[in-house]
């Protein structure tokens, strides 16, 4: 996994966690769900990058 991709995925995951937390605090279900979606997207991207790395070796 490229360092740049790893940083982007981590940033997206952290942004998702922040949105989820903000949604919980403000009782905003839409924002909370959006945070979950962002985290899931980051996890999928990270898994794809790991799979690419496995085939490189």
Residue ranges of the domains in the chain? Answer: 3-56
Run of H or E including 12: helix 3-26
Residue 1 has pLDDT above 60, yes or no: no
Predicted local confidence at residue 3, as pLDDT: 82
pLDDT in tens, 27-39: 999 999 999 999 9
**pTM (whole model) above 0.75:** yes
pLDDT average, residue stretch 27-52: 94
pLDDT in tens, 13-22: 999 999 999 9
> Would you state the structure tokens that stand for residue 43, as one six-digit string?
């996890």
pLDDT average, residue stretch 27-53: 93
Q: Which SS3 state, helix, strand or coil, does residue 50 take?
A: helix
Q: Give the other-Cβ count within 10 Å of 16's Cβ.
A: 20
Find out whether 52 and 1 touch, Cβ atoms under 8 Å: yes
Indicate left, alpha or beta for 27 from its phi (over 0: left) and psi (-120 to 50: alpha): left
């Amino acid at each position: 996994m490229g360092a740049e991709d790893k940083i982007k995925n981590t940033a997206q995951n952290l942004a998702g966690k922040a949105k989820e937390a903000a949604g919980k605090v403000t009782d905003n279900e839409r924002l909370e769900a959006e945070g979950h979606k962002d985290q899931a997207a980051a996890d999928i991207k990270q898994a794809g990058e790991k799979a690419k790395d496995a085939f490189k070796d």
